[in-house]
């Protein structure tokens, strides 16, 4: 986190000023922190060095680097920071510091929650989203690539281009509709929506975007409050971001031209985990804040910095709650599991059995191997079998694992006790905020947006709740948020 110093060394040389000598002497750790502060350009007052050959070149402090914070490293947050970095590069801007704070210990959110991730993991399971969904604009469907759900035609096309680049890079693979089950949230419209799996797990896709962003990412940090440090002199962003919404995201260089007003600073306050099972308070100022968290959490964090009408809308966005269970099973069950899935990768259990506590059962190995009839090829000998279940709404997290084992044992035709003995590992996530059931367009209100993000001054709120819950919704909201951030910078 940033440190502030009264006086520090001169960047052009390695010597320190007299005041820095007095403050830190030969303390190497403090000198390293000074160097880090200089590199970040945060809270630094540069003074001429008495040892430098050309003191006039250091008479005044260099322009401070602008600082942008994205709160949340789920799909929307990871996409936002990556797209912002792309836009900055297109504009030839390299002096903006990007940072991401995520309260989980890894990139996750509802999209990337995982048992393990990465190509080297012995077993990979997605506990949140099971597919990546986008509109296939080249399908010839009359509604493909058109406006709708608060999303522009140009952004729908850009989203499909992004999906194609991920496909070409081998980061995702297409999932046939015939392999997917029928659920209330699955958009299986022939010729309109295309669905994809991520062989390395969706968390690895988030890592891909964070790496592209080259942002400082802090995990285990919970943001609690935003405090406006000074009045903004650049006005509302809502109209500015609307003008930059062309198919290619607008002229980035033009967006930076003539920006002389200093953005407002927002102090971000929160806490981080410590080694002693407690939490330490943290705070730092940023020029632009992008909240990429669930709607109610965004309203809580922003507090009075949001207009009352926006806060009301965010609090009325609705999600259901489910419990996800990942079961890692002994390799001897490969053939039996393949049989019950019968050539598919997913099963919906509560449609035929109203008393079943399991809603969805997803065979994770199918995302990384080739399905052929009732068998799965390419599973290395001895590798475990991984199945993920999603409970019905309102399930008890204490009993969800037992219900998952009971449902799977019933279909395998073995006793629950036998199946339990074959469970090598399991992970349970109690999703208090799970599938979105009522987005903005489902509310009866006078509030509307021209694109899927809200921007006012230095504060931007992004999320699929402004449009719809899918990769398309998250990507388009991230595009809109990055445009709003560029306009403010």
* Tokens encoding 19: 């005041």
Strand duo 66-71 + 288-291: pairing: parallel
Distance CA 11, CA 35 (A): 9
**pLDDT, position 150:** 85
Helix, strand or coil, per DSSP, at residue 221: strand
Please give the structure tokens belonging to residue 265: 């600073």
Residue with tokens 């998952």: 404
Half-sphere exposure of 26 (CA within 13 A, CB side): 0
Chain CA centroid to CA 54, Å: 47
**346 pairs with which residues across the strands?**
362
SS (H, E, C) 52-89: CCCHHHHCCCCCCCEEEEEECCCHHHHHHHHHHHHHHH
Which pLDDT value is given to residue 122? 65
For residue 342, what are the CA distances in angstroms to 327, 372, 386?
19, 10, 16
Backbone angles phi, psi at 393, to 5 degrees: -65, 140
Contact 451, 242 (CB under 8 A): yes
Confidence at residue 65, expressed as pLDDT on a 0 to 100 scale: 84
Q: What is the DSSP letter of 234?
A: S
Q: What is the pLDDT of residue 278?
A: 81
In this prediction, residue 337 carries a pLDDT of 95
How confident is the prediction along the chain (489 residues), in pLDDT tens digits per residue? 333 333 333 333 333 333 333 333 433 333 334 344 444 443 333 333 332 333 333 344 456 789 999 999 999 999 999 999 999 999 898 889 999 999 999 999 989 888 874 445 667 899 999 999 999 999 888 888 788 888 999 999 999 999 999 999 999 999 998 899 877 667 667 778 999 999 889 999 999 999 999 999 999 999 999 998 864 343 333 222 222 333 333 333 344 444 444 555 899 999 998 877 788 999 999 999 999 999 999 999 999 999 999 999 999 999 999 999 999 999 999 999 999 999 899 999 887 777 788 999 999 998 887 554 444 545 555 688 999 999 999 899 899 999 999 999 999 999 999 999 999 999 999 999 998 999 999 999 999 999 999 999 899 999 999 999 999 999 999 999 999 999 998
How crowded is the C-beta side of 165, counted as CA atoms within 13 Å? 9
Say if pTM beats, i.e. exceeds, 0.85: no
Asked whether 407 and 389 are in contact (CB, 8 A), the reply is yes
Rounded to an integer, what distance in angstroms lies between the CA atom of residue 199 and that of residue 345? 13
pLDDT at 140: 87
């Amino acid at each position: 986190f940033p440190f502030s110093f009264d006086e520090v060394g001169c960047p052009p040389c390695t010597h320190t000023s007299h005041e820095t000598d007095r403050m830190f002497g030969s303390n190497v750790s403090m000198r390293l922190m000074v160097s880090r502060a200089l590199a970040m350009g945060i809270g630094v007052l540069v003074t001429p060095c008495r040892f430098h050959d050309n003191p006039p070149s250091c008479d005044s402090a260099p322009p401070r680097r602008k600082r942008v914070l994205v709160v949340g490293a789920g799909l929307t947050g990871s996409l936002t920071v990556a797209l912002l970095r792309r836009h900055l590069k297109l504009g030839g801007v390299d002096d903006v510091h990007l940072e991401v704070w995520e309260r989980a210990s890894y990139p996750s959110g509802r999209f990337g929650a995982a048992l393990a991730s990465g190509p080297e993991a012995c077993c990979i399971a997605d506990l949140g989203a099971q597919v990546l969904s986008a509109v296939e604009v080249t399908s010839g469907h009359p509604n493909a690539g058109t406006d709708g759900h608060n999303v522009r035609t140009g952004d729908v096309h850009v989203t499909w281009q992004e999906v194609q680049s991920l496909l070409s890079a081998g980061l995702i693979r297409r999932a046939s509709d015939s392999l997917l089950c029928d659920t209330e949230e699955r958009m299986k419209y022939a010729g309109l929506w295309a669905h994809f799996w991520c062989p390395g797990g969706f968390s690895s896709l988030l890592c891909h975007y964070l790496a592209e962003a080259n942002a400082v990412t802090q995990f285990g940090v919970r943001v609690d409050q935003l405090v406006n440090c000074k009045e903004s002199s650049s006005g509302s962003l809502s109209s500015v971001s609307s003008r930059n919404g062309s198919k290619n995201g607008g002229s980035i260089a033009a967006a930076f031209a003539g920006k002389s007003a200093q953005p407002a600073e927002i102090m971000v306050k929160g806490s981080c985990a410590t080694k002693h099972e407690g939490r330490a308070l943290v705070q730092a100022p940023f020029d632009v804040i992008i909240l990429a968290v669930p709607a109610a959490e965004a309203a809580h964090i922003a507090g009075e910095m949001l207009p009352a009408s926006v806060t009301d809308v965010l609090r009325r966005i609705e999600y259901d709650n489910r419990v996800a269970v990942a079961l890692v099973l002994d390799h001897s069950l490969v053939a039996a599991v393949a049989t019950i899935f019968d050539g598919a990768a997913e099963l919906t259990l509560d449609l035929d059995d109203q008393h079943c506590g399991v809603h969805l059962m997803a065979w994770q190995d199918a995302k990384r191997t080739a399905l052929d009839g009732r068998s799965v090829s390419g599973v290395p000998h001895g590798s475990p079998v991984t199945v993920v279940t999603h409970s019905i709404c309102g399930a008890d997290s204490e009993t969800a694992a037992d219900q998952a084992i009971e449902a799977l044992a019933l279909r395998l035709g073995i006793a629950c006790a036998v199946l339990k003995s074959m469970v090598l590992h399991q992970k349970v996530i109690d999703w208090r905020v799970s599938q979105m059931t009522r987005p903005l367009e489902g509310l009866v209100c006078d509030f509307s947006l021209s694109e899927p993000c809200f921007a006012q001054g230095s504060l931007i709120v992004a999320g699929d709740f402004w449009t719809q819950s899918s990769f398309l919704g998250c990507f388009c909201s991230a595009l809109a948020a990055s445009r709003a951030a560029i306009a403010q910078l």
